[in-house]
Chains A and B, each alone.
Chain A
């Protein structure tokens, strides 16, 4: 390992990992890395320009099989090479190298893997409670084995000292907002620290998906993060298709893309409305909500569902867009949003609240592996549609909007630029022809009787949802059922930048503004 060259680029990286066949590799390269080499590999990858840790998760560790080892997988976005790199390491025992010491973005996942599989990073670093509630005993359902011992102090304590005090807020919050517990540490007005309890909404979705057929699972996946049903559903469907070796028809992929861009449009409209609400601008909120409602009605007219549930199918798209309705209604509905946004950009009392509020620096965004508009507003050019173009984005590349400053205003501007780009893309995609259609799944994939067994096929899927890159990794057993499905909506990543953005010289009342500008869901994070 140590003898390898420091040169950048995929060939050097891969030969470092003992993988030489680069030329004919597809958009996903999978490499086995020995557990002892993991740390060195992560150091090299972390230092490589254009490589970012997109996800870290585990599989295996079946408690029913004695000694079944846990397999640790990392997904690296090699964005400049337009590939994903998946590393697989078999972990024997209960420890693996502390990856978050090298890549801080890995910390949340290390905590999650400890809860679910009972293996922890080396060292005594305290881990946070992420998904399983405090009352979860060793018998509580898990993806793997429970931690051998569960000392009370394994979870990081929050210390509050000096002039500061803690203001607990939640989990039940305002009207029509998701449940989430905020620990706000404040000295009275300024926000000193903020932490979140994320386990109140954990529904064990990944645990539920095991043993289901991909189509049954998709129903649950779409309802994991309802405001990201297309993005998360697409990532999951693409992962299953990669595992089963299925390629959806081009028309169906364009249909998915139209739905995905519609999802982006309504989410950005909803974020605009939420920004107005959090800044107390009721007239702006009303204008944005008119746009939002018209966009949702357009979704219903074009696809039969206001939130586009049921559009994505394993192997294609279940229903096609009503092209006439889209052409007729989209300009008007988007016009409402654009006029509202233009008026907001001319309203100083609104802009004053946004400017220099909730700053996330580019360095922090990179360090924490942020994605989507939040990352792009810091100037990072990460967009799965452009960096990892799958059909149809290879033929219809989006213009990636970036901002600078990383404050709420930058995020607002990025969202508006993206909305305009989505409208253009929908027009292009309609022109190219879109409709329903589904590739045949191989025998067995739809069988309801196949016995759950050992995984033999796996795949990675991704989509650029309105919140950023959504990832999914699926392995199927011989019966074509889900052996392990990892869902990583963009919300999973972006919440970890929320406390950073909140701490940066903000006061109490800025928190709702920052939350609206991130426009994440708790459902997607807690799964």
Chain B
């Protein structure tokens, strides 16, 4: 979704590469544009209100996301990144698409919390059971709810200022005997 605008920027792939590598290069080139300043808008598609509380706390003194160059904006036209919570209620499809369409490109979408990632609700007549079907997600932040620290890490990964860590994790504890 951000490909068209990103391809115009500097990091277009010069060497032959696999699709995955190209996509990764594009993602990074977009992310790098936002390294110094990023404006965030939030979208609730059926959360239990806990994710919203954690997002609000990002601006609180303990976390102070402004020190990292992140800002909240209530206006979609000013937003670079959309933080989406909740399992994407079907009745919300139009509002979600309009919210996304109102943002200028290039733009990022961050799926926030277990509901948005498909953990709590299943796909049925009420909800999509996750936001992946409806919006093109760039970064996924697990947690129920994700703590403000986890949200900060997710935002920093989204703008390529922190490396993604979870890719290398195995969620096994080695040790003892084998």
- Does A175 interact with chain B (Cβ within 8 Å)? yes
Select the residue from B47, B48, B61, B147 with max chain A CB neighbours within 10 A.
B48
A352 CB, nearest partner CB in chain B, Å: 25
A178 interface residue, CB < 8 Å from B? Answer: yes
Interface positions of A from 484 to 527, Cβ below 8 Å from B: 521-524
Name the contact of B49 in the complex, choosing from A203, A227, A286 (C-beta under 8 A). A227
Number of interface residues of A (CB under 8 A): 42
Q: How far is the CA of A314 from the CA of B53 in the complex (A)?
A: 27
Q: Which residues of chain A have C-beta atoms less than 8 A from B44's C-beta? A: 172, 177-179, 201
Of the listed stretches B10-18, B86-94, B168-176, chain A binds B86-94
- Closest CB in chain A relative to B127 CB, distance in Å: 6
Q: Which of B45, B49, B54 contacts A521 (CB 8 A)?
A: B49
Per the bound structure, the CA–CA distance linking A309 and B74 in Å amounts to 30
Contacts of A309 in B (CB 8 A): 144
Q: Please pick, from A175, A203, A229, A273, the residue contacting B42 in the complex, using a CB distance under 8 A.
A: A175
A177 in contact with B52 (CB, 8 Å): yes
Main secondary structure of the interface of A (DSSP, over half): loop
Interface string of A165-192 (1 = CB under 8 A from B): 0000001111111110000000000000
The answer to whether residues A203 and B87 also contact, given A172-B99, A226-B50, A306-B147 and a CB cut-off of 8 A, is yes
A177 contacts across to B, CB distance below 8 A: 42, 44, 52
B12-62 contacts to A (CB < 8 Å): 40-58, 60-62
Q: Is the Cβ of B57 less than 8 Å from the Cβ of A201? A: no
A229–B91 alpha-carbon span in the complex (Å)? 25
Binds A, one of B1-9, B118-126, B130-138, B152-160: B118-126
With A203-B126, A289-B60: A307-B50 Cβ-Cβ less than 8 Å: yes
Closest-CB distance, B58 to chain A (whole angstroms): 8
Interfacial chain A residues near B90, Cβ < 8 Å: 133, 135
A172 near B89: Cβ-Cβ < 8 Å: no
Contacts of B42 in A (CB 8 A): 175-177
Contact at A141–B126, with CB atoms within 8 Å? yes
Question: Once the chains bind, are B95 and A171 in contact (CB under 8 Å)?
Answer: yes
Is A453 on the interface with B (CB-CB < 8 A)?
no
Contact of B47 among A173, A178, A204, A229 (CB under 8 A): A178
Partner of A141, one of B46, B95, B115, B124: B124
Contact of A203 with B45 in the complex, beta carbons under 8 Å:
no
Q: Bound complex: CA of A269 vs CA of B42, how far in Å?
A: 22
A293 to B86, CA, bound (A): 23
A393 interface residue (CB < 8 Å to B): no
With A141-B125, A226-B50, A523-B48 in contact, do A175 and B55 touch (Cβ < 8 Å)? yes
Residues of A within 8 A of B47 (CB): 178, 226, 523
Asked if residues B49 and A522 are in contact (CB atoms below 8 Å), the reply is yes
- Bound CA–CA A223/B127 (angstroms): 15
The residue of chain B having its C-beta at the shortest distance from the C-beta of A266 within the complex is B53
Of A133, A175, A273, A290, the contact of B73 (CB 8 Å cutoff)? A175
Is B142 in contact with chain A by the CB < 8 A criterion?
no
A383 within 8 A of B: no
CA distance A133 to B94 in the complex (A): 12
Tell me the minimal C-beta distance from A310 to chain B in angstroms.
10
A224 within 8 A of B: yes
A199 part of interface (Cβ distance < 8 Å): yes
In the complex, per-residue mask of A209-243: 1 if CB is within 8 Å of any chain B CB, else 0: 00000000000100111110100000000000000
A residues engaging B (CB < 8 A)? Answer: 133, 135, 140-141, 171-179, 199-204, 207, 220, 223-227, 229, 270, 273, 286, 289-290, 292-293, 296, 306-307, 309, 521-524
- Apart from A229-B48, A293-B62, A522-B49, what are 14 other A-B pairs with CB-CB below 8 Å? A140-B125, A171-B95, A172-B44, A175-B41, A175-B74, A178-B52, A179-B43, A179-B92, A179-B95, A223-B120, A273-B60, A293-B60, A521-B48, A523-B47
Q: What are 22 inter-chain pairs, A to B, with CB distance below 8 A? A: A141-B125, A172-B43, A172-B44, A172-B95, A172-B99, A173-B74, A176-B42, A177-B42, A177-B44, A178-B44, A179-B45, A179-B95, A201-B86, A202-B89, A202-B126, A203-B126, A223-B48, A226-B47, A226-B48, A227-B49, A273-B60, A293-B62
